[in-house]
Amino acid sequence: MAASGQKRTRSERVAALDLAPGQWERAWVSLRRRDVLGRIGLALLAALIMGALIRAWDPPARQGLSADGPNVGGPAAESPEVPAAPTARQRLMRAAAVVVMIFVMLVLCGIYMRYRQHGPLADITQLGVMLTLAGITVAISRWASVAPWRAELVPLMLFGMTMAIVYGQELAVLLCGVLALVLALALEQSLCTLVLLMGVSATANLNLGRIRSRSKLIYVGLFSGGVAALLTTGLGIVDNQPTDAELLRAATRNGLWAVAAGFLMTGLLPFVERLFGVLTDLSLLELGDVSHPLLQELVRRAPSTYNHSVTVGSIGEAAADSIGARGLLVRVGAYFHDIGKMLKPGYYAENQGAEENRHEALVPAMSSLIIVAHIKDGADLARQHHLPQPIIDLIEQHHGTTRVGFFYERASEQKRSDPNGADVDESTYRYPGPKPQTKEAAVLMLADNVESASRTLVDPTPARIESLVREVAERRLHGGEFDESGLTLRELRTIERSMVKSLTAVYHGRLKYPDQRTA
Ligand SMILES: [Fe+2]
Ligand SMILES: [Fe+2]
């Protein structure tokens, strides 16, 4: 076995896993270790429930649906010749085939998530919530699809938009495709139904993007409504249905249902955010308003910390936007990142006047404890004020596991000058972490660091700012602080360039030109 700290070879890593011999045994153990079986079980359960909801054993034609009801274009198709009633064995075979088909599609979605974006796959509870929502969507769609309402589009669009907000547009389109297929099976097994459901839900999902205003969802609904009306008409013509008032009515009805889905989603948005713990840009904009009680308190108790936070916010937002991360989240996170300092504002550098330094009366370990405490205090305050989890995460991660260098060095110096003094316990001088877990958290950490460091520059010329930003970024990178953030080196360089630009703009007004005698 290799010594700890050294990189192990592949065979050593395999040996350390203590796997059973044989390919199949190893695969089985690996599946169990990664909790894949639980996820497969959930998918199977969801397929069984969806199969039961759509009455997989009972073909729609026998339920009398296709004769008078849910035909996409509206006008009823000619009633087909009714075949003989299927035997119990045929029903069982059909139900099994439908359930297996749904299960396979869910597993394929899972494989997509495994390799492209983890989304709900990362957490089995989230996966359970997602599959439950999918089941509820199928149930409501089935119930709403009866004539004359034919409103199966509404639950599907609501489900799709929820998934797009929470997990992104790609996954939403994929999941809506699966549910559209399930619903097409449940209704009249028409290709037109499938195309309509997939087309309209994909339109809504792909147009969603970032929600910065309440009207966005209504616009998405209106646009999807237009597409729904056009698709219904087009599919009706393709399906050889007469282009009469009936087809027009069906087109108008489907268009209006899509618009209604947009309005409904506007009302459901806060619940979706709470259920999945996500933050839309709309909520972020509301949260970043300076009239927020916590920010007002920060302005009152620690005005310099507030100014620092606002500058960090603008530097961080531009840097995050430059790499395609969520700049708005970084800006709002920056506003709140140091709220913990408001409990003891006088102990932090930016709030100390020239005349007093409260740390003079304290031992370095105590000073460090007070400084480090602003992380926990900040997170506690954020929880008390019901700030969303992504903001609390930014508060907790903005110093990662870095060291309070100034007081650690002071303590080390005291130890050197007095060997009989207490040993310096390095852990007392470290922030508790965790390290930044997202690109946004990494950007916030860097923006916070460079903003604080730039204050110490006597003559902040662009060249000095550039070398300072590079130095701070290198220190954090080599300290391993960005290891868990998913940030690439190329992105780090882009962030550095953006921060140099922002800081140069901040200090531009303060630069002294050669012919100026006073600043
Ligand atoms: Fe801080
Ligand atoms: Fe800060």
Q: Which residue has the higher pLDDT, 142 or 519?
A: 142
Q: Domain check: are 485 and 414 in the same one? A: yes
The pLDDT assigned to 17 comes to: 60
> What's the 400 CA to ligand 1 centre distance in angstroms?
10
pLDDT of residue 382: 95
The verdict on residue 482 lying in a domain is yes
Count of domains observed in the chain: 2
User: Are residues 311 and 421 both part of a single domain?
Assistant: yes
What is the distance, to the nearest Å, from the Cα of residue 149 to the centroid of all Cα atoms in its chain?
A: 35
Q: Which ligand sits nearest to residue 453's alpha carbon? A: 2
Same-domain status, 204 and 220? yes
Q: Measuring CA to CA, which residue among 205, 191, 185 is closest to residue 258?
A: 205
Q: Which ligand sits closest to the CA of 311?
A: 2
Residue 81 in any domain: the answer is no
C-alpha 399 – ligand 1 centre gap (Å): 6
Q: Give the mean pLDDT of the chain.
A: 85
Which residue, 223, 244, 278, sits at the end of a domain? Answer: 278
Average pLDDT of 167-171? Answer: 91
Highest mean pLDDT among 4-13, 60-69, 352-361: 352-361
Q: Given 278, 312, 327, which residue is the final one in a domain?
A: 278
Do 226 and 313 lie in a common domain?
no
Domain limit, last residue, from 278, 313, 330: 278
* Residue 50 forms part of a structural domain: yes
Which protein residues have a CB closer than 5 Å to ligand 1 (ion)?
A: 338
- Ligand 2 midpoint to CA 313 (Å): 10
Q: What number is the average pLDDT over the span 74-91? A: 64
Shared domain for 306 and 272, answered yes or no, is no
pLDDT band at 66 (very low <50, low <70, confident <90, very high): very low
163-194: string of b/e by CB count within 10 Å (b at 16+)?
A: bbbbbebbbbbbbbbbbbbbbbbbbbebebbb
Q: Tell me the chain's radius of gyration from C-alpha atoms.
A: 30
Q: Is the pLDDT of residue 3 over 50?
A: no
Ligand 2 midpoint to CA 451 (Å): 8
Identify the pLDDT of residue 11. 66
Please tell me the distance between residue 448's alpha carbon and the centre of ligand 1 in angstroms: 7
User: In sequence order, what are the residues at sequence separation of 6 or more whose Cβ sits closer than 8 angstroms to the Cβ of residue 469?
Assistant: 450, 496, 499, 500, 503
Provide the β-strand partners of residue 315.
Answer: none
CATH number of the domain within which 409 lies: 1.10.3210
The alpha carbon of 337 and the centre of ligand 2 are apart by a number of angstroms equal to 6
In a domain, 14, yes or no: no
Number of the ligand closest to the Cα of 334: 2
Indicate whether 449 and 334 sit together in one domain.
yes
> Does 265 lie in the same domain as 353?
no
List 430's β-bridge partners, or say none: 403
Indicate whether 7 belongs to any domain.
no
Same domain, 228 and 362: no
Supply the pTM of this predicted model. 0.77
Ligand nearest to the CA of 377: 1
DSSP 4-29: TTSPPPHHHHHHHHTPPSSHHHHHHH
Ligand in nearest proximity to the CA of 398: 1
Are 419 and 456 contacting, i.e. CB atoms less than 8 angstroms apart?
Answer: no
Domain check: are 36 and 182 in the same one?
A: yes
Span 17-33, mean pLDDT? 68
Q: Please report whether residue 223 resides in a domain.
A: yes
- pLDDT of the residue at 471: 94
Question: Which band of pLDDT confidence, cut at 50, 70 and 90, is reported for residue 13?
Answer: low
Instruction: Please indicate, yes or no, if residue 410 is contained in any of the structural domains.
Output: yes
Kindly give the distance from the C-alpha atom of residue 515 to the centroid of ligand 2, in angstroms, as a whole number.
Answer: 35
**pLDDT band for position 518 (cuts 50, 70, 90):** very low
In sequence order, the 6+-apart residues with CB closer than 8 A to the CB of 73 are 192, 232, 233, 235, 236, 239, 241, 247, 250
Distance of CA 485 from the midpoint of ligand 1 (Å): 18
User: What is the per-residue pLDDT for 64?
Assistant: 40
Domain limits at 436?
282-508
Same domain, yes or no: 295 and 420? yes
Å from CA of 451 to ligand 1 middle: 11
- Would you state the pLDDT for residue 150? 87
List, in sequence order, the alpha helices (H) in 210-341. 215-238, 245-276, 281-287, 293-301, 303-322, 327-336
CATH of the domain at 67: 1.10.1760.20
Whether residue 336 sits in one domain with residue 258: no
Same domain, 215 and 97: yes
Distance 336 CA to ligand 1 centre (A): 10
* Residue 206 domain flag: yes
CA of 500 to the centre of ligand 2 (A): 18
| pLDDT at residue 470 in the model | 95
